[in-house]
Amino acid sequence: MDKWSVIQYLEKRAEDFYKLSDKIWENAEIRFKEKQSVKDYVAFLKNEGFSITVGEAGLKTGFHAEWGSGKPVIGFLGEYDALAGLSQKAGVSVKEPLVKDGNGHGCGHNLLGVGALMGAVGFKHYLETEGKTGTVVFYGCPAEEGGSGKTFMAREGCFNQLDLALSWHPNNCNMMPPGPVLANDSIRYSFTGKASHAAAAPEAGRSALDALELMNIGVQFLREHIPSTARIHYAITNAGGISPNIVQPYASALYQIRAPFAPELSNLYERVNNIAKGAAMMTETQVEIKFLKGTSNTVLIPALDEVMYNNMCEIPNPVERADDIAFAREIVKTQIPDGRVPENVFDLKPKNWNKSGNIPIPGSSDVGDVSWVCPVSQCGTSTWPVGTAAHSWQAVACGKSDFAHKGMLYAGQIIAATAIDVCNNPEIIETAWKQLKEKTGNHPYHCPIPPEITPEILEAETT
182 binds Zn ion (CB under 5 A): no
Least separation in angstroms between CB 287 and Zn ion: 31
By the rule CB under 5 A, 107 interacts with Zn ion: yes
Least Å distance between CB 369 and Zn ion?
15
How many CA atoms, within 13 angstroms, populate the side-chain half-sphere of residue 24? 37
Query: Which CB sits closer to Zn ion, 7 or 82?
Result: 82
Sheet (strand 376-382) strand order: 51-54, 63-69, 134-141, 73-79, 164-171, 376-382, 173-176, 347-352
CB of 391 to Zn ion, least distance (A): 6
Question: Rounded to the nearest whole angstrom, what is the least distance from the CB of residue 250 to Zn ion in the complex?
Answer: 32
**Residue 91: helix, strand or coil by DSSP?**
coil
Q: How far is the CB of 364 from Zn ion (least distance, A)?
A: 10
CA distance 175 to 206: 54
Give the burial string for 208-245 (b: 16+ CB within 10 Å, else e): bbbbbbbbbebbeebeeebeebbbbebeeebebeeeee
Q: Please state the closest distance from residue 138 (CB atom) to Zn ion, in A.
A: 18
Least distance to Zn ion from the beta carbon of 5, Å? 31
Task: Pick the closer one to Zn ion by CB: 107 or 136.
Answer: 107
Tell me which residues in 367-426 interact with Zn ion (CB under 5 A): none
Nearer to Zn ion, 110 or 401 (CB): 110
Label the pairing between strands 73-79 and 134-141.
parallel
Candidates 14-22, 104-112, 317-325, 433-441: pick the segment binding Zn ion (CB under 5 A). Answer: 104-112
Our CB check for Zn ion shows the closer of 363 and 450 to be 363
Tell me, what DSSP letter sits at residue 235? E
Q: Which stretch binds Zn ion (CB under 5 A): 101-109, 153-161, 179-187, 450-458?
A: 101-109
Based on CB atoms, which residue is closest to Zn ion, 143 or 307? 143
Is residue 87 within 8 A of residue 97, CB to CB? The reply is yes
CB of residue 112 vs Zn ion: minimum separation in angstroms?
A: 6
- Check residue 298 and report its DSSP letter: P
Residue 277 Cβ vs Zn ion, minimum distance, rounded to whole Å = 33
Distance (Å) of CA 112 to CA 118, 190, 264: 10, 37, 30
| Pair 188, 235: CB distance under 8 Å | no
Which residue in 95, 116, 99 sits closest to 397, CA to CA? 95
Q: How many beta carbons lie within 10 A of that of residue 461, not counting itself? A: 14
Beta carbons within 8 Å of 450's beta carbon, 6+ residues apart: 291
Residue nearest to Zn ion as judged by C-beta position? 107
The answer to the question of residue 86 lying near Zn ion (CB under 5 A) is: no
Q: Which listed range, 54-62, 106-114, 253-261, 415-423, lies at the site for Zn ion (CB under 5 A)?
A: 106-114
User: Half-sphere exposure of residue 21, counting CA atoms within 13 Å on the CB side?
Assistant: 32
Number of residues engaging Zn ion in binding (CB under 5 A): 1
The one segment of 52-60, 102-110, 115-123, 346-354 that binds Zn ion by CB under 5 A? 102-110
CB nearer Zn ion, residue 56 or residue 366: 366
CB closer to Zn ion, 109 vs 124: 109
Q: Tell me the closest approach of the beta carbon of residue 238 to Zn ion, in angstroms.
A: 26
Region of 29-37, 103-111, 127-135, 337-345 interacting with Zn ion (CB under 5 A)? 103-111
Listed in order, strand segments (DSSP E) in 70-205 are 73-79, 134-141, 164-171, 173-176, 183-192
Q: What DSSP state is assigned to residue 454?
A: -
3 or 109: CB nearest Zn ion: 109
Site for Zn ion in 131-160 (CB under 5 A): none
Residues 99 and 87 sit within 8 Å (Cβ to Cβ): yes
Burial per residue of 134-164, b for 16 or more beta-carbon CB atoms within 10 angstroms, e otherwise: bbbbbbbbbbbbbbbbbbbbbbbebbeebbb
Q: Nearer Cβ to Zn ion, position 247 or 395? A: 395
Nearer to Zn ion (CB atom), residue 297 or residue 440: 297
Nearer to Zn ion, 83 or 409 (CB): 83
Q: Output the smallest distance, CB 427 to Zn ion, in A.
A: 32
Q: What count of other Cβ atoms lies within 10 Å of the Cβ of residue 314? A: 14
Contact residues toward Zn ion (CB under 5 A) are 107
